[in-house]
Structure 1
């Protein structure tokens, strides 16, 4: 009887255990399905939590199932950067026999992020045994072998934690606003950020914060940007136009029903606040991400990271022209020199034209995202890429660099173990330098800046660069000590102007400032500071400097012929003034031919008082009583007070030149183009 009771009890307990197992399996399946659904929406933290629940609900005896769930959990952790938990999950997957997937490859990537290069190498080799010939494993092994020596060699860069900008959570992607570098913007998930906990990262959605320097040059405590930029969504990774008036930034909107890809938005700065943002329409593609904007120094290009079709794989760097017919113009991929089968992201443009970006697909990678420098040959349009040394790069993710103008110092972000305990943190960096640079201004002679100008810089060291200018007509370029430079400014509809300089070898920081006033091809150009003896056509010695500049300009534009015109005021006999102005124009022509300018390029013309000055906008800034397009005729002048009359008479007494032809010497007697005469003339 007792035996019978024992058998009955055993059977009941067995049924209860079986029901518990079946119930657990059912719960695990539900958790896995929930995890898969979250993963499909890009909610990686939520997916990891569901897979972790499923892992705990799966019996330890079901090794195959446990290994399967462990791999899924590790993949979710990997996707949102929880490296330590990803390593543990992938190791469990290996322990339970999941070896014929990407387990070892991902485990190697995560171990390398922890700086465990030996363990990562073993994982890559195990993956290569199952998948021989996979380039990802070969590159991973190579990087594990080279990274320790790269770290040991180090460099002259100094790196330290920027404590003032960092919180107890993630702070990343710093960006200077404006060329004066007095304000620093960055992304933060600190407590003050708006929004709830993100199901993607497991922490709060990011907002954009900023800090600015006080009157003593010290950074103030960071605060959220004012205006409508920050919302319940995830905002960050911002960049600015050179004038600081436009901000581009990344927005990740959320939706409970379907995935929302990263987008680029822009906002305008007015009255110290940022306007309501608008989306930057790059493509009609709604299934691709567009993130991490950066603006080229000349304001022509918007660089960004995207996984849209047509790239090299993963995230690629692209650029699109700003200001096309519908707000944006030509779109292009930066090509295989920049992009790899991995991920390229977080581009930054320096005033020098260099592009900095992060990648996990280039060689010499120390782990995760490393920062690379790329320089585009403006003649061949080819990129040369260089890996930045340690301590800029580490075994963690290093990204989001910003530079203080032309200086080789600034900030970047990293989740390296030291200082941030795995959180993204902002670091300060610097490099010893004695900086020499040139700042140039390109503008219309007697007019305003020429933002459409193009500058060519040729150096004795082989430098050959094409430089775009900013909206105010300026450009800044670093110089190498001991190198001589020739800098030519050109613009459609204007004559060329050239300057030369030599960067000396002094150990004192120096900026050379050059002016490039371009004469117009289509309208008369005033030759300033040309003086004649009273009531004569004889040039004074004070005129030499102005006329020597005219000689230089004509030599720089050898295909141009000009009319040299002299004008008088209304006082005096009309016939006498006409003859006097003709003699004065001829005096200038004689000076030019005496300094090597061919006589058939010059035409002397005296106009007497027949062509009074027409006021341009620039002239009204100096003489507010004048109005644009006024003609300084006799009736006009006689209505003015005596002192203003004298100003107008002085303006009418002038020497000008006007371009007649821009094809001098280009053709032979038969009308054929001479190959040796091909030279850019700005027309």
Structure 2
């Protein structure tokens, strides 16, 4: 028993005999007398020939003679040899039936060591559940660690097959027509740059018999041109003798991505074993290939095969498979760096992530991804197709291409066209005509990968969530690629087509608003996707004029006249505003005003009305005590009946509100945050005055109407400056930090000047200006990007500016495409974000010009 196991272990190949990519169904002509009934010595002679042909790896001839011998005497001792030969010629159905017959009668467990091959035949017939059982039985009797790894790996693959059994194929394959596929094996497809097809084939319709009448039976490289109108491949034509050397196999063709180099093997076989395999290349292109030259630097003794060009570490390499001594298993994948045309350095093994104890073959490299076939990585069948990503230093763990690309049989030679959406592979799955068993021979299959599409719809809105027109939206792809820019003066919708495997920064700009940005990416999309992005642009605060003009009947809010909750007593903080009223009433003796008080809409209507009247009277009494005649002041308590209407000044201070918004109960209830609701209520609680008699217009300093920030007694007594981050810095309206309450943990860029005027510029002339700034915040400022029109180039001296540090931004304006004057906005996006948000801090600069 154990002697048989040992012999079996030695018989399992650790390297594939499929050097051509197929089992070569070639038989040597044998004496025709063997077609007669077998008797006596003829039976012994038949077995002798069978074993001789097997030793020569002439599997078809060997099997035919074993079948004749078995038919003559029904000697079941021949069945194990016949079963193994069925497996060798990939007749999995006959192999599994024969192994089953042997093991069913094996009461003494004499043939348990055959269960591995039986299980393998079952698996490659798609009978995963039965295969798992037989592999487990094999594990129970085998002690070899190597064989246990093989069996355990096969179980993993069979379980994967069971899991996918009821799932849809990952891709739909189409067998190429009989013009391309013959009953014999056709394999090693390759696309030229122009989309034409190259294959390796025997162009045989039956088993090749080597006798005196046999002509040149060797495999050749063929070329087929596709009809552009019908999409049908034309009849293949063999390349000339400068490629297809006579009386030798010319196989495993591949073509470089630029279409200018053709790589292939020339091989010599003995039976089904490749005894010589050398790499060749030719330059030229479709219809113009020059004489083939042998590749230098890769030792012919390595029997290298399946060449394919690629790129690693920034230089061109040649991938290939070989059984070079010292590898990880049977046939490993290698690359050799190119030194010059046709000359390569020492081969480098791709390592244990790619290579296994089994065989790895048919490498194909496309855009940083290596595709290959393996019979050891867990798979659905014999050889499955896998892929691995190259990150610039290492390969990722190989992934199975899954059902559809792979089958229970052998799937190899994965190839894609230049666009990467149409491809080819070879498989011996039972879909076409074959010269022997249904699964003996390779056919070429095509497939089309659905082109994943991605697009982006951007909507632009103001901070009040109303559609904002006149916006320019730009998307910037990374890595590489050209930005796309759309300006829409008529609407707020922007449509973009996106490339796959990119990250995009979206930037929306408007002359009177701060930009808004977002980032999306199209990485690893598995299906079509439409991205939708809403961008909200806050209005740029309008600088407060030095003087305000107050018109008759225009209500002016006295921001410092405040009251305790539910009380009508004037607080000390109200004195600046009351003194202001006192001053203008003394300045304009005939001025008559209405002094009105308002509450929010919470609480009882009558209570609010009465409370607001008492508050208005309190303010009036303060003025009367200062000597103002009571006939000049009308005190009105409005309660909650007159909600606040947002004006430009309030919208500047609170960009979340828009000019014209009315703080009614309905409006406030629709606000998204409790903070915004509370602010609206607070703004409704106000005291106003308006001119109702006397002068129609008066002019006052605008600063007199601003709300005073509270100061502490300590501040007044010591005059000390608060530490950086606690004080409220003077933030320019061109910064999105303007109006914020928190300045800790943010950089603050203080520009000496934010706007400049180039004046009159001759068209085609260039102008330059350098903006200077200092980071007066408590955090390092990090510039992410600077956005401006195509007419503007920017240069900056540092991307990172520490607290207290200074920086410069140089702007170069090119007027060659300008026909009239404009104001150009420059947006500086920081990696730093606004407090409590993920929005980047944005700083604006401007310049303007006129064209002479």
Q: Secondary structure at the match of 2:232?
A: coil
Matches of 2:322 and 2:120 in 1, distance apart? Answer: 22
Report the 3-state secondary structure (helix = DSSP H, G, I; strand = E; otherwise coil) of the residue aligned with 2:764: helix
**CA distances 1:68-95 after superposition (whole Å, capped 9, x unpaired):** xx43443344334343443345445546
Q: 1:267 aligns with which of 247, 267, 282?
A: 282
Separation in 1, partners of 2:170, 2:91: 31
Candidates 120, 125, 137, aligned match of 2:131 = 120
| Matches of 1:247 and 1:206, distance apart in 2 | 17
Once residues 300 and 87 of structure 1 are traced to their aligned partners in structure 2, the CA distance between those partners, rounded to angstroms, is: 46
- Separation of aligned partners in 2, 1:278 and 1:292: 16
Q: Does 1:329 align with 2:345?
A: yes
Separation (CA, whole Å) in 2 of partners of 1:147 and 1:29: 39
* CA RMSD after TM alignment: 4.6
Q: Aligned residue for 1:660?
A: none
1:382-421, aligned counterparts within 5 Å? 382-419=395-432, 421=438
Between the aligned partners of 1:484 and 1:49, the Cα distance in structure 2 is 68
CA–CA distance in 2 between the matches of 1:501 and 1:77? 56
Aligned 1:286-305 pairs, distance under 5 A: 286=301, 288-296=302-310, 300-305=316-321
Q: What is the rounded CA distance, in whole Å, between the counterparts of 2:310 and 2:183 in structure 1?
A: 33
Cα distance in structure 2, aligned partners of 1:415 and 1:545: 70
TM-superposed CA distance for 1:551, in Å, is 10
Report Cα offsets for 1:373-414 as digits up to 9, x if no partner.
Answer: 111111x32333111122221112111111122333322121
Task: Tell me the TM-score normalised to structure 2 length.
Answer: 0.46
Residue pair 2:99, 2:114 contacting (<8 A) in 1 also: yes
CA spacing shift, 1:193–1:291, aligned 2, 3 Å:
farther
TM-score, with length taken from structure 1: 0.56
Q: How many residues align?
A: 450
**Corresponding residue for 2:118?**
107
SS in structure 1 of the partner of residue 431 of structure 2? helix
Q: Decide whether aligned partners of structure 1 residues 413 and 36 sit closer, same or farther in structure 2, where only a CA change above 3 A counts.
A: closer
Tell me if the contact between 2:297 and 2:346 (Cα under 8 Å) persists in the aligned partners: no
- In the alignment, is the contact (CA less than 8 A) between 2:332 and 2:361 conserved in 1? yes
Aligned 8 A contact 1:156 1:432 in 2: no
Deviation per residue, 1:511-561 (Å, 9 max, x gap): xxxxxxxxxxxxxxxxxxxxxxxxxxx996535499999997987999xxx
CA distance in 2, matches of 1:31, 1:112: 31
Alpha-carbon distance, 1:300 to partner: 0.8
Deviation, structure 1 residue 415? 1.3
Structure 1 window deviating more from structure 2 (541-550 vs 158-167): it is 541-550
Which range moves more in the overlay, 315-324 or 417-426? Answer: 417-426
Residues 436-460 of structure 1 deviation map (CA, whole Å, 9 limit, x = unaligned): 79xxxxxxxxxxxxxxxxxx97599
Moved more, 312-321 or 545-554: 545-554
Establish whether residue 542 from structure 1 lines up as the match of residue 563 from structure 2: no
Q: 1:546 to 1:338 in 2, by over 3 A?
A: farther
Matched, 1:434 2:452: yes
Residues 146, 326 of structure 1: alpha-carbon distance in 2 compared, 3 angstrom cutoff: closer
Distance 1:82 1:319 in 2: 34
- Aligned partner of 1:343 in structure 2 is 359
Unaligned runs of 5+ in 2: 1-37, 456-476, 482-497, 507-518, 531-759, 770-787, 800-807, 813-852
Q: Structure 1's 387 and 544: CA in aligned 2 closer, same or farther, altered over 3 A?
A: farther
Q: 2:276, 2:300 within 8 Å by CA — same for their partners in 1? A: no
Compare 119-128 and 258-267 and name the one that shifted more: 258-267
Match of 1:588 in 2: none
1:631-660 Cα shifts (integer Å, max 9, x gaps): xxxxxxxxxxxxxxxxxxxxxxxxxxxxxx
SS in 2 for 1:314: coil
Structure 1 unaligned residues grouped into runs of 5+: 1-19, 438-455, 461-476, 486-499, 510-537, 559-592, 598-683
The structure richer in helix per residue is: 1
> Shift of residue 241 of structure 1?
1.3
* Distance change (3 Å), C-alpha of 1:197 and 1:36: closer
Match of 2:141 in 1: 130
* 1:180-208 deviation line (CA, Å, top 9, x unaligned): 4x21112223249998659xxxx954322
Q: 1:121 to 1:507 in 2, by over 3 A?
A: closer
**Counterpart among 69, 82, 96 of residue 87 in structure 1:** 96
- Structure 2 equivalent of residue 222 of structure 1: 235
Residue number in structure 1 paired with 2:442: 424
